[in-house]
Amino acid sequence: MTSARTRFTLMLIVVAAASRLVAHAPNFTPLGAIALFGGAYFEDRRAGLLVPLAALFLTDLILGFYPGMAFVYASFAMTVLIGYRLRHTRSAYAIAGATLGTAILFFIVTNFGVWAAGGLYPHSLAGLEQAYVSAIPFFRNSVFGDMAYAAALFGGMVLAERFWAGAARASERVGLP
C-alpha cells in the first residue's frame, strides 16, 4: 500500500506534467522541476526515477517525438539523481541552487545533443559554440519555468505536510483514530 505522501507526490507530478500540454512560452515547462521533486520526495528511489521519466514520455507521446530525445531523458535522469541529494536538506537555498544547477545541466546536455545528433550545426568546435549561443534565449525561460514549478511543487508539499501534521494533532485532541 502506498502512503498518503507518495500519493500526494504522484498527484502533484501528474498535475504539473499536464501543464506541459497547455500553451506556454518555449522551454517554460515543469519537467526539470518534476525530475528534481521526484528524486527528492519519492520514498522509493526507483519511483523517483521512473515517475518523472514516465511523465516526460507520456507527454511526449501526445506532443510528438523529436530528435535528440535521448539527451533530454539523460539530463532529466541526472536531475533526479540531484533530487536524491535534496532528501536530507530541503532548505529554500538548497532547492533554488539545485534548480538552477539542473537548468544549467539541461542546457549543456541537450544543446550538446542538438549539435551532436542533428544536422543544424557543423560538427566542429565552432558549430558547438554556435549551438550553445543560439540556445541562450531559451535558457532564461528554462530557468524561470524550473524555478516557478519547483516553488509550486516543493512549496505545495511543505504546505500539505503542515496541513497533515495539523490535522493529525487535531484528531488526536478529539480522540479520532
Read off the pLDDT of residues 1-37 as tens digits, 9 standing for 90 and up. 467 778 888 888 988 889 898 888 899 999 999 999 9
Per-residue buried b or exposed e for 21-57, using 16+ beta carbons within 10 Å of the residue's own CB: eeeeeebbbbbbbbbbbbbbbbeeeebbbebbbebbe
Read off the pLDDT of residues 35-48 as tens digits, 9 standing for 90 and up. 999 999 998 999 99
Read off the pLDDT of residues 114-172 as tens digits, 9 standing for 90 and up. 999 988 999 999 999 999 999 999 999 999 999 999 999 999 999 988 887 765 565 55
The reported pTM is 0.87
Cell numbers for 28, please give them: 517554460
Contact predicate 103/32, CB 8 Å: yes
Q: Where in the chain are the domains?
A: 4-173
- Output DSSP code: residue 3: -
Question: CA dist 20 to 55, 87, 91, 165, Å?
Answer: 10, 25, 27, 31
